[in-house]
Amino acid sequence: MTTTSFRVHGLTRSYFTRKVTGYLDYTDRPWRLEPGLLGHPAATEAGWNGGIPVVVDPDGTPLWDSTAIIDHLDAHPTTTADRSVTPTDPVLRFLAHLLDDFSDEWFYRPAVGSRWSYPDNTVAAGWQIAEELSVAVPMPAAMVRERVVETMTASLIRLGVTAENIDVWMAEVFVAWLEALEAHLGDGYLLGARPCLADFALFGANAAHFVGDPYCRELVDEHAPSVVAHTHRLLIPQHHDFGAWFEPGDVPESLIAVVAQAGRHYLPWVAKATVDGAATVELAPGVTAEIATTPFLDQARAIMLGRYVAARSPELDAVLERAGVLPYFADHVDQAGAVPDPSRPAQPLDNRPYAVN
């Protein structure tokens, strides 16, 4: 069936669904939500392995993986230059992909962990997810909610999140991230006065979890009101004007501090885990988590290193050195993989960041 709208198979409380729908709104592409995550025959036939959302474009082609979808649509001729989220400057473009990768592969851990570890979050999100899923699941909502909570809670250990360490995740990982963002964003975006790819990774995390779940929202209100404002601007982009990205070579110290957050826990862990299969991350003195990699993360890391090889220059290395993260790229170029061609439909072979029970 050919339509003029994008059909988004996902959930409104889904990190990656909201990342994609935020981009669709920003680029003024019409879309409609079709709640659920139980299956999509056309996508399955094309190779989809289960991660949401699946987006069916107006021609009927199923697309999946949030970053791949946005890269693909952003390269399409229908995307106007003033709404592209891919900077032309190689340094800024790499930083956009780096911060997108950091948000997607690291912050979904405390996002999912906090949702199913704090009762206020669990009650609010659990019922909304059950309500949406009940559209496709012929069961009482209370039963759907119970199964969702059981399934997701049982999956937390794979993310490195436990009842014993979730408070440390929030205090040492999430709050520190909020404080860096608060010092940088103001009334703008990660790379200046207009959103880039990474802003939608940030938006998806916040709209679905951190600004939407009650306990997390308390933390964001306390530590980073500019993050709430950033989320609200991208909820209704038609009400806002956008400017330009930073000029090439103009990378402010506040952005360097945001990039440096990736070097605190994520990059040391992912650089080792994708070689050894798992690695220990020290969240705080005496508090550690052993987290295994996955085939999806191995591939994401190879692509990120491939992007580094393609963009490498003295200017980029100087920025990464300022942020203290250069060795996590320069010392690992032997692991670089091919960068996906955005002109091809977004249909990666693996789209599951972690296995769900």
CATH number at residue 31: 3.40.30.10
Question: Mind listing the pLDDT tens digit of every residue in the chain (357 residues)?
Answer: 456 899 999 999 999 999 999 999 999 999 999 886 656 888 888 888 888 899 999 999 999 999 999 999 999 999 999 999 999 999 999 999 999 999 999 999 999 999 999 999 999 999 999 999 888 888 898 999 999 999 999 999 999 999 999 999 999 999 999 999 999 999 999 999 999 999 999 999 999 999 999 999 999 999 999 999 999 999 999 999 999 999 999 999 999 999 999 999 999 999 999 999 999 999 999 999 999 999 999 999 999 999 999 999 999 999 999 999 999 999 999 999 999 999 999 999 876 665 544
Helix axes 253-261 and 90-102, enclosed angle (nearest 10)? 40
Decide which of 83, 100, 122 is a domain's last residue.
83
Is 47 a member of any domain?
A: yes
Say if residues 196 and 246 touch (Cβ distance below 8 Å). no
Are 109 and 42 part of one and the same domain?
A: no
What is the tally of structural domains in the chain?
Answer: 2
Is 201 a member of any domain?
A: yes
State how far the Cα of 205 lies from the Cα of 107, in Å rounded to an integer: 8
Q: Report in angstroms the alpha-carbon separations of 114 from 169, 233, 240, 269.
A: 9, 24, 31, 21
In 3D space, the residue among 283, 45, 321, 55 whose CA is nearest the CA of residue 173 turns out to be 283
The token pair at 213 is: 């779940």
Say if residues 112 and 100 touch (Cβ distance below 8 Å). no
Is 27 a member of any domain?
A: yes
Q: Report in angstroms the alpha-carbon separations of 156 from 47, 147, 151.
A: 26, 15, 9
Are 109 and 15 part of one and the same domain?
A: no
Are 14 and 67 part of one and the same domain?
A: yes
**Bridging pattern class, strands 6-10 and 31-35:** parallel
**Helix intervals (H) in 236-356:** 253-261, 266-276, 295-311, 314-322, 327-330
| 3-state SS record for 295-314 | HHHHHHHHHHHHHHHHHCCH
Are 52 and 94 part of one and the same domain?
A: no
Is 247 a member of any domain?
A: yes
Are 240 and 298 part of one and the same domain?
A: yes
Is 156 a member of any domain?
A: no
Are 54 and 203 part of one and the same domain?
A: no
- How many helices (H) and strands (E) are present in the chain, helices listed first? 17, 6
Are 312 and 223 part of one and the same domain?
A: yes
Are 96 and 68 part of one and the same domain?
A: no
Residues in contact with 133: Cβ distance below 8 Å, sequence separation at least 6, in sequence order: 11, 35, 36, 37, 144, 148
State how far the Cα of 136 lies from the Cα of 124, in Å rounded to an integer: 20
Is 348 a member of any domain?
A: no
Say if residues 295 and 350 touch (Cβ distance below 8 Å). yes
Residues in contact with 101: Cβ distance below 8 Å, sequence separation at least 6, in sequence order: 67, 300, 304
pLDDT at site 38 = 59
Is 124 a member of any domain?
A: no
Are 66 and 106 part of one and the same domain?
A: no
Say if residues 255 and 181 touch (Cβ distance below 8 Å). no
The angle subtended at Cα 192 by Cα 188 and Cα 194, nearest 5°, is 70
Are 179 and 316 part of one and the same domain?
A: yes
The distance from CA 124 to its chain's CA centroid, rounded to whole angstroms, is 22
Are 264 and 223 part of one and the same domain?
A: yes
Are 57 and 78 part of one and the same domain?
A: yes
Show the domain range for 181.
90-114+164-335
Is 243 a member of any domain?
A: yes
